[in-house]
C-alpha cells in the first residue's frame, strides 16, 4: 500500500469509532430525558438526512479540495454537533448535524482510495477500510455502552474542573464529552494525510448547476450494467444494516431483557462477524468476481428471520457473528466494484456521493418506516420479520436483474469485467 494509506485508515477508524459510540450515547440521552421510543428509532434516519439532502453537493465538494482537508472539515462539523447535543439542543437535531459531517466525510474517505491506489488493490483496500470500519463499530458500540454504564460514568461525573461549571450531569453527557476528544484525534490524523496529486475539479459558481450534474451522474451509474447491480446491492445492504443496529438493541431488550450497555455488546458481536467476512473477502475475491456473492444476500435475509426464535445469548452470539460474516463478505467486493465503475464514469467524489445518496435514502426510508411503525406499536419481532423478508426478496430480484443483463447485454458486461481486470485501463 502507498504512503498515506494507513494514515487514512487511522483517521477513518477514530472518526467512525466516535460515530458509533455517539449513537449509543444519544439513545441513552433520549431515554434519560423521557423521550418516546419513536424518537430513539428516529436517530437512524436523522443521521441519514443530510446524506440525502446534500448528496448533489458533497461529492463535488470532495472533488474540489484535497480530500484530507475535506475530512478535517467534516470532523470539525461532527464536533460542533456533539457540542450542541451536550449543551441543550435536542438530540435528534444535534445528531443530524453529526450526520452532516459524516455526509461530507464519506465521499472523501472512499474517493481518496481510487486516487491513491490502482484498480487491482481496490478490493484489498476496501477490505482494510471496511474491516477497520467494522472494528470501529464493534469497539465504538462497546465504548458507548461502557461510557453510559454506571461503572465508568460515575468516575467521569466525579471529575471536576476547578472554577468551571461544565453542566455535565448525566452519564450520556459525560460520554459525549469523552467522544469529542476522539473526534479531535481523528481530525489530527486528517492533517497528516498527503496530497495525492490528483487535479481538483472546482465547484461551479452557481451551485444550482450541481443538481442536474448530480442527477446525470446518478442516472449514468444506474444505467451501467455492472454499476447498477453493485449499487442496488450496496444500497439495500447499508439500508438494512443502518437500521439493524437499533433493531438489535430493541430485540435484545425484549428477547433477553438487556439494558443499553448489555445490548450494545450484541451489536458489537454482529460487527465482529462483518469484520471477519470483510477480511476474508479482501483476500479471496477479485474485482471481476464481485457479482458472484449475491446469493449470500438472500441467505442473510433468511437468517434475519430466524432471529425471532432465539432467546438464549449463547445461541445468539455465534448466530449474529455468522450473520455479520455473510454481510461483510457480500459488501466488500460489491463496494469495490461500485467504486471502480463510479471512478471511471464520473470521478471518485461524485460517484461516492451518488452511492451515499442511494444508500442513505434507503436508510432514511426504512428508518422512517420503522420509527413510524414503532410509534404505532410494531414489536421488535415484527420489525425483524419485515427486514428479513425485505432483504431476501430484494436480493433475489437483484440476482434476476443481473442474470437478465448477462443474457441481453453479455458483450457490454464482459467488456466492463475486462476493464476491471486491467489495472491501467479506465474506459
| pLDDT tens per residue across span 10-40 | 888 999 999 989 998 998 999 888 888 788 8
Determine the Cα–Cα distance for residues 361 and 355; give it in Å rounded to an integer: 10
If we measure between CA atoms, which residue out of 102, 119, 100, 396 comes closest to residue 232?
396
pLDDT tens for residues 283-332? 888 777 788 888 988 998 888 888 888 888 888 889 988 988 888 888 88
Mean pLDDT (the chain, rounded) = 82
Q: What is the mean pLDDT of residues 386-393?
A: 83
In percent, how much of the chain has pLDDT > 70?
91
Query: Does 348 score more than 70 pLDDT?
Result: no
Q: What separation in angstroms does the CA of 416 have from each of 24, 289, 348, 366?
A: 42, 12, 18, 32
pLDDT tens for residues 136-188? 877 888 888 889 888 888 888 777 665 555 677 788 889 999 999 999 999 99
**Cα 109 versus chain centre, distance:** 12
Query: Does 427 score more than 60 pLDDT?
Result: no
C-alpha cell at 45: 434516519
According to the model, what pLDDT value does residue 424 have? 45
Query: Does 63 score more than 80 pLDDT?
Result: no
- Which of 129-133, 216-220, 274-278, 289-293 is predicted least confidently? 129-133
In percent, how much of the chain has pLDDT > 90?
16
Q: What is the mean pLDDT of residues 400-411?
A: 89
Question: Using 50, 70 and 90 to split pLDDT, how confident is the model at 426?
Answer: very low
**Cα 212 versus chain centre, distance:** 26
Where do the domains of the chain lie, and which CATH numbers do they carry? 5-191+209-421 (1.20.1250.20)
Determine the Cα–Cα distance for residues 75 and 45; give it in Å rounded to an integer: 20
CB crowding 337-358: b at 16 or more within 10 Å, else e: bbbbbbbbbbbbbbbbbbbbbb
What does pTM read for this prediction? 0.71
Residues shown for the chain: 427
The answer to whether the CB of 47 falls within 8 A of the CB of 95 is yes
Amino acid at each position: 500500500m502507498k504512503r498515506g494509506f494507513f494514515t487514512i485508515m487511522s483517521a477513518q477508524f477514530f472518526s467512525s469509532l466516535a460515530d458509533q459510540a455517539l449513537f449509543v450515547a444519544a439513545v441513552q440521552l433520549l431515554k434519560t430525558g423521557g423521550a418516546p421510543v419513536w424518537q430513539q428509532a428516529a436517530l437512524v434516519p436523522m443521521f441519514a438526512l443530510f446524506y440525502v439532502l446534500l448528496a448533489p453537493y458533497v461529492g463535488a465538494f470532495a472533488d474540489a479540495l484535497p480530500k484530507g482537508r475535506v475530512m478535517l472539515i467534516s470532523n470539525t462539523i461532527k464536533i460542533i454537533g456533539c457540542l450542541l447535543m451536550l449543551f441543550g439542543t435536542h438530540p435528534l437535531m444535534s445528531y443530524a448535524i453529526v450526520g452532516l459531517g459524516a455526509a461530507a466525510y464519506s465521499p472523501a474517505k472512499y474517493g481518496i482510495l481510487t486516487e491513491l491506489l490502482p484498480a487491482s488493490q481496490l478490493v484489498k483496500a476496501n477490505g482494510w477500510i471496511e474491516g477497520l470500519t467494522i472494528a470501529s463499530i464493534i469497539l465504538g458500540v462497546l465504548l458507548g455502552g461502557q461510557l453510559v454504564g454506571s461503572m465508568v460514568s460515575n468516575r467521569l461525573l466525579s471529575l471536576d474542573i476547578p472554577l468551571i461549571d461544565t453542566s455535565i450531569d448525566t452519564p450520556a453527557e459525560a460520554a459525549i464529552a469523552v467522544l469529542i476528544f476522539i473526534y479531535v484525534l481523528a481530525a489530527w490524523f486528517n492533517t497528516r494525510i498527503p496530497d495525492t496529486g490528483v487535479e481538483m475539479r472546482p465547484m461551479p459558481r452557481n451551485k444550482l448547476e450541481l443538481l442536474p450534474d448530480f442527477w446525470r451522474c446518478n442516472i449514468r451509474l444506474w444505467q451501467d450494467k455492472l454499476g447498477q447491480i453493485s449499487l442496488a446491492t450496496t444500497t439495500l445492504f447499508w439500508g438494512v444494516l443502518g437500521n439493524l443496529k437499533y433493531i438489535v438493541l430493541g430485540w435484545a431488550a425484549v428477547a433477553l431483557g438487556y439494558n443499553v450497555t448489555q445490548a450494545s455488546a450484541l451489536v458489537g458481536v454482529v460487527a465482529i462477524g462483518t469484520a471477519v467476512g470483510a477480511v476474508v473477502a479482501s483476500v479471496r475475491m477479485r474485482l471481476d468476481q464481485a457479482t458472484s456473492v449475491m446469493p449470500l444476500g438472500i441467505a442473510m435475509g433468511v437468517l434475519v428471520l430466524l432471529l425471532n426464535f432465539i432467546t438464549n445469548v449463547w445461541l445468539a452470539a455465534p448466530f449474529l457473528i455468522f450473520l455479520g460474516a455473510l454481510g461483510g463478505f457480500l459488501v466488500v467486493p460489491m463496494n469495490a466494484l461500485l467504486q471502480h465503475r463510479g471512478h471511471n464514469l464520473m470521478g471518485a467524489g461524485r460517484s461516492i456521493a451518488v452511492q451515499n445518496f442511494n444508500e442513505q435514502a434507503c436508510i432514511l426510508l426504512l428508518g422512517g418506516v420503522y420509527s413510524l411503525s414503532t410509534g404505532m406499536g410494531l414489536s421488535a419481532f415484527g420489525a425483524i420479520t419485515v427486514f428479513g423478508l425485505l432483504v431476501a426478496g430484494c436480493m433475489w430480484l437483484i440476482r434476476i436483474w443481473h442474470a437478465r443483463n448477462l443474457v441481453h447485454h453479455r458483450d457490454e458486461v464482459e467488456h466492463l469485467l475486462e476493464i476491471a481486470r486491467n489495472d491501467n485501463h479506465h474506459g
